[in-house]
Amino acid sequence: MVVGVLQMRLMLRDARSLKDKRRVVRSLRDRIRNRFNVSVAEVDGLDRRQQTVLGVAMATNDRIFADQVLAKIVDLVRAAPGADLVDYETEIL
């Protein structure tokens, strides 16, 4: 079994309140879950209005497939309106 883990630090420059932030994060989380069938959670920056860290995890039997899916998720987040990808880190276990 192969486990792929992705951690992404995002900047939400247009978020004027935590409610604005939750709207953007929820939309992004749902898009990632629906398109790639992975687990997604906000893992850090919960009380910061313009910053968040999303964690993504997936289990598969192919290391190359896990790496490809995580790369596609990074591309989706880069193109997402309202969120700027600051940094990300992938790990295949």
Q: pLDDT tens digits for 76-86?
A: 999 998 899 99
Domains in the chain (CATH in brackets) are 2-92 (3.30.70.1120)
Q: pLDDT tens digits for 24-78?
A: 999 999 999 999 999 999 999 888 889 999 999 999 999 999 999 999 999 999 9
Identify the CA nearest to 25 among candidates 43, 37, 38: 43
pLDDT at 82: 85
> Average pLDDT in the 5-28 region?
93
**DSSP output for 5-67:** EEEEEEE-TT--SHHHHHHHHHHHHHHHHHHH--EEEEEE-TT-SSEEEEEEEEEES-HHHHH
Q: Name the β-bridge partners of 85.
A: 10
